[in-house]
Amino acid sequence: MNESVYQIPIANLGLALVPTIIVLVVLYRWSAGGSTALYAVGRMVSQLALAGYTLTFLFNTDRSAVVLIALTVMLSAAAWISLRPVAKRRRSLYLHALVSIGIGGGTTLTIITQGVLDAEPWHNSSVLIPLGGMIFAASMNAVSLSAERLDAEQTGGSDYENARRAAMLASLIPQINILFAVGLVSLPGMMTGQILSGIAPLIAARYQLMVMCMLFGAGGISAACFLLMQRPRPATV
């Protein structure tokens, strides 16, 4: 395999925005939320630029406290963003989301980094931060989907058990679709990136298998914890 890494010049990177601009034009012409999409794209660019500088600092530090603080910030933000579909109840549900993502994401992150990868040292920032981001994002999306669906089902008159079942299924639809499609319809981002970096496809496949399992597990555990916390309390006499 070629050991070189493809370097993307800034000018060439600008070409990647062409499809994005086309979509933005369509959204504006159709009055379909162009402003929101434009804001999202601008925020994405600024956040990634900031992330690049932040990760450069984090990857050069050997202090476990700094890494743990970064993970805590990521966890706190993920919990807050996950409740966007139920914004009116965000404050009352925040602790539930935080604990759920902490359990699902934290447990999965520990298993992967300390068990599967055997990171040395245990707080290796180049391992914990990227994988922590992926895991917390998967947990965030699962909690978000489950919160939205549970609220919709209960608003429609469903009892807790049926609403919970529907919410759990809805929370895992994206991950299950990816499980069906991986390697057949698409090559996931991590595997594609490693292959472009010169890693042998079979080794890249092992890493992608690890990623698929950790995302499915983290999302499912987080959603289940969140939904269990929404169980109605028995009436007191």
Q: Please tell me whether residues 3 and 70 are part of one structural domain.
A: no
> Would residue 89 count as lying in a domain?
yes
User: Who wins on pLDDT, 39 or 237?
Assistant: 39
Give the CA-trace dihedral at 140, 146, 149, 150, to 10 degrees.
-130
Q: Please tell me whether residues 109 and 225 are part of one structural domain.
A: yes
Count of the separate structural domains present in the chain = 2
Would you state the pLDDT for residue 197? 77
> Would residue 237 count as lying in a domain?
no
What is the residue range of 201's domain?
63-229
pLDDT higher than threshold 60 for residue 214: yes
Q: Please tell me whether residues 181 and 73 are part of one structural domain.
A: yes
Q: Please tell me whether residues 33 and 103 are part of one structural domain.
A: no
CA 96 remoteness from chain centre: 18
User: Who wins on pLDDT, 234 or 137?
Assistant: 137
> Would residue 146 count as lying in a domain?
yes
> Would residue 184 count as lying in a domain?
yes
Least confident interval from 49-63, 148-162, 166-180 = 49-63
Q: Please tell me whether residues 178 and 216 are part of one structural domain.
A: yes
Percentage of residues of the chain with pLDDT beyond 90: 60
Mean pLDDT of 42-61: 87
pLDDT higher than threshold 50 for residue 157: yes
pLDDT band at 11 (very low <50, low <70, confident <90, very high): confident
Percentage of residues of the chain with pLDDT beyond 70: 96
pLDDT band at 154 (very low <50, low <70, confident <90, very high): very high
Residue 230 has phi, psi (to 5 degrees) of -90, 5
Number of Cβ within 10 Å of residue 24's Cβ equals: 17
> Would residue 177 count as lying in a domain?
yes
> Would residue 18 count as lying in a domain?
yes
Kind and range of the H or E run holding 195: helix 189-196
Would you state the pLDDT for residue 26? 95
Please tell me the number of Cα atoms within 13 Å of 191 on its side-chain side. 17
Would you state the pLDDT for residue 1? 46
Q: Please tell me whether residues 71 and 175 are part of one structural domain.
A: yes
Structure tokens at 58: 């984090």
Task: Give the SS3 label for residue 186.
Answer: strand
pLDDT tens across 66-113, in order?
999 999 999 999 999 999 999 899 999 999 999 999 999 999 999 999
Q: Please tell me whether residues 51 and 86 are part of one structural domain.
A: no
Is residue 119 within 8 Å of 109, Cβ to Cβ?
no
Q: Please tell me whether residues 68 and 53 are part of one structural domain.
A: no
pLDDT band at 236 (very low <50, low <70, confident <90, very high): low
Q: What is the mean pLDDT of the chain?
A: 89
pLDDT higher than threshold 90 for residue 132: yes
> Would residue 236 count as lying in a domain?
no
Q: Please tell me whether residues 130 and 185 are part of one structural domain.
A: yes
Q: Please tell me whether residues 56 and 76 are part of one structural domain.
A: no
pLDDT tens across 222-232, in order?
999 999 999 98
DSSP string, 59-70: HT---HHHHHHH
> Would residue 28 count as lying in a domain?
yes
